[in-house]
Structure formats: structure tokens, C-alpha cells
Amino acid sequence: MSSQGGGGRTRVGRYELGRTLGEGTFAKVKFAKNVETGEHVAIKILDKEKLLRHKMIDQLKREISTMKLIRHPNVIRMHEVMASKTKIYIVIELVTGGELFDKIVSHRRLKEDDARKYFQQLINAVDYCHSRGVYHRDLKPENLLLDANGTLKVSDFGLSALSQQVQKDGLLHTTCGTPNYVAPEVIINKGYDGAKADLWSCGVILFVLMAGYLPFEDSNLMSLYKKIYKADFTCPSWFSTSTKKLIKKILDPNPNTRITIAEVINNEWFKKGYQPPTFETEDINLDDVNSIFDESGDPTQLVVERREERPALMNAFELISTSQGLNLGTLFEKQTGSVKRETRFASRLPANEILSKIEAAAGPMGFNIQKRNNCKLKLQGESPGRKGQLAIATEVFEVTPSLHMVELRKSNGDTLEFHNFYHSISNGLKDVMWKAGWQHS
């Protein structure tokens, strides 16, 4: 954030909060640093009032307790939980290798052995979490992250669909997830088995890894649902026979005859080069979880958000962590051909001037300015869109006094619509964007 916004760093307990990494309906994720150890983490921030209003507190406590107990090399680790009077803070592992989605975009599709390696890690994570009674319900490449060593990490496991409830029939009943990855039994809304629905999504992910495109795609939502319900898809010619057979067994529209995860693990194609994960179980303390949900608890256990009055500059590690694979050359460039949920550019203009020009460019495109403060803008689209109204969070960071990084991030709506919005608004911001000699075209 620029010093021209008059802001400063925010401290929560022993953590100093930095830039926003992502946001959704119930939560915001921020980069953070443990000031005692120097360790970099991510902190998921949830609004207590929203959770109470949606009767989600009990579900959240169950999910957090379970997730804290999960220690698996392919699932993002939860370190601890804190609460203030108004917010809940979930401290999680920071993963810097980017999304698996980016790898598919840059390579167009993966070789069979590479796709198999990621699929094996995905199945390992999903199988382990299911054994602990935790279901993801929104598995897709954007929720699969890579660490610095290229190891797959499933994010948001058990926290992506907090409002889900298992009813008396033992089934889940709320339709959620991204349409293209959702199992047919979820769409018809008669109740579904979370484990079988997650496996369907894994099958779609395997197809995307190897094909470079989705098995079920249609601009009309009802037509898309019909294709999913009939499992109307065709494997491309470069898929091996054994790959085609496995995918067809996973993408079986009947959950009762669909292959199980145990059967997938025993499949010959899956077993090639398979190395089961090795990890140690450890004693986990749930005292922090119990204390933040204990209404009669000690108020001294609550943390306080404390704002430090000094310019919030973007430090070197934060700067590098925004670039793909720690490659500074990609830091400010526009992502050509890549459909991403965020994008950024550099500017030599003062922060207030940058925001004013973004407001002026967004207005004629049908966007209202919802709020503006501390070098941040919230743009709200007027049209309904494919997945609800498109909303965009904009933030200006100070890299040096004369150079700012501007980030535009989708906070609601469709990723492709955000991609189109960015290409349109770029034309109106040509005098804002800094074209450096070292920047890629």
C-alpha cells in the first residue's frame, strides 16, 4: 500500500498483516509474517457477524478442529486459530509455487507422466481427508497449489463450503462448486455422497491436465448441466487406452456404479511410478480452537488488530511471492492468454491519481464504485453475469516512492468475465501503465 494512502501495517497477535491474496463471500486471505520467528504465512480472516447470521459457527468449529488435525504433505497445513471481538483468524501455510492452473495454461497440456504424478498426489490428499470425514466440494485446478519444490498442495480442504450440512439421510444437499467440475448428482440436488462427488471432480481435473481443456463446456448453463448429467464427453486422440478407461470409470454419471478411490489407487495406470506419501503423525493441541469458540471464555484470550502508523511498503519477499515461480520478469506483465483471478501492472503515477483513473475507466463499463479507502477500490458490476455480478478489488502498493504496483483481483463473479474486463479497461489505462524496457510484451 502506498504511503500516500496514509495507512500502516496491521498487527494481529504476533503476526504482521500484508497484502490481500484472495477474497470470497465469507473470508479474506492475507499474506502475513510471524514477527517472532520471521516465518511467512497466510491468514484467512472470517467475519464473526456473517458467520452467526448464516448459522455457520458450529460447522466452522467442526471444520477447523478437523483441519487442524490433518497433517498431510499434499494438504495445506493449518498452524493455529485466533479470534478478536469481530473476526476469526486461521493461520495457514503459505505456498509460493503458484496454482496448478497456471501450469496448464503455460504448457497448454501436461505429458501423461506429469499429469499422473499430480493426480496421484491429489488422490492421496483427497483419500486421507475423506478418511477423516472431511470433504472438499470445490476441487478444481485453481484450488490446487504448488510449493517451491513443485509438490501439489490442496487448499481450502474442508473450508471451501462451510455452509454445507449433512442431513438426516447422511447426504449433503447444497449445490456448490464450479459448474464444470461438479458431479451430476450434486446438480440434481437430491442429496449426494461427498466422497463420490469429490472423486468426480478429480476425474475432471485429470482430463483437464492431459487435454488442456474441459470435458464438459457450454456457454449455456442448462446445456452444460445436460452434458454433465449424461457424461457427454470425448477423450482426445492422444490419451492412452488405459487413461481413457480410467477417466470413463471416474466420470460415470451414476454415483452407485462409479469407481471408488480405493479402486483408483489399485488401477494399473495409477500405480505406475506411484510412491505412497510418507509422513509422521504428531500430537496436535486443539486448545486454541476450543478457546475461540468458548462463549464463556476468558476475554484476555482475544487478539486485537493494532494498526502501526507507518507507510506499508511491499517488502522484497512479498514482492517476489507475487510472481510466478519467483521469476521477477513475470511480476508486472499482463498474462497473455491466461485466464486468471488477479492481474497486476506497474505505474509511475501517484496512488490517488491511479485510483481516480481506474474509477473513470470503470464507470462507462457499467461498474459502480462501492467503496474507496487506504489506496483500495471496490468495483461492483451492474449486470448479473454467469456466476453473479462481477466484483473487482483494486489495491495500490508502494514498491519504491516513485513506483507502484497496482493489483486488480476478482472478488466475485466469473474468471473469464474478469479477464475480458481487464483487457477492456487496459485500453483506458494506457497512460497509467508503466512500460519499462525490461518488461515482457
Beta strands in 246-402, from DSSP E residues, in sequence order: 305-307, 342-347, 367-373, 376-381, 391-400
Q: What is the pLDDT of residues 41-62, one digit of tens each?
A: 999 998 888 888 877 777 788 7
Residues making up the binding site: 44
* The CATH fold of domain 100-271: Transferase(Phosphotransferase); domain 1 (1.10.510)
Residues making up the binding site for ATP: 44
Q: What is the dihedral of CA 259, 261, 265, 269, to 10 degrees?
A: 40
Q: What is the pLDDT of residues 194-251, one digit of tens each?
A: 899 999 999 999 999 999 999 998 888 889 999 999 999 999 999 999 999 999 999 9
In contact, 157 and 125? CB cutoff 8 Å: yes
* Residue range(s) occupied by CATH 1.10.510.10 in the chain: 100-271
pTM: 0.67
What is 179-220 written as a DSSP string? GGG--HHHHTTS-B-HHHHHHHHHHHHHHHHHHSS-SS--SS
pLDDT of residue 270: 97
pLDDT band at residue 85 using 50, 70 and 90 as cut-offs: confident
Q: What is the pLDDT of residues 313-347, one digit of tens each?
A: 555 555 555 554 444 334 444 343 444 677 888 88
Domain 9-94 has CATH 3.30.365.10: no
* Residue range(s) occupied by CATH 3.30.310.80 in the chain: 332-428
Q: What is the pLDDT of residues 261-280, one digit of tens each?
A: 999 999 999 999 998 888 76
In contact, 413 and 389? CB cutoff 8 Å: yes
The set of cell numbers assigned to 112 is 501423461
> CA–CA distance from 364 to each of 130, 358, 361, 381 (Å)?
48, 11, 6, 11
Secondary structure letter of residue 142 according to DSSP: G
* Residue range(s) occupied by CATH 3.30.200.20 in the chain: 9-94
pLDDT band at residue 160 using 50, 70 and 90 as cut-offs: low
Residues labelled catalytic: 138
Q: What is the pLDDT of residues 241-268, one digit of tens each?
A: 999 999 999 999 999 999 999 999 999 9
User: What CATH number has the domain spanning 332-428?
Assistant: 3.30.310.80
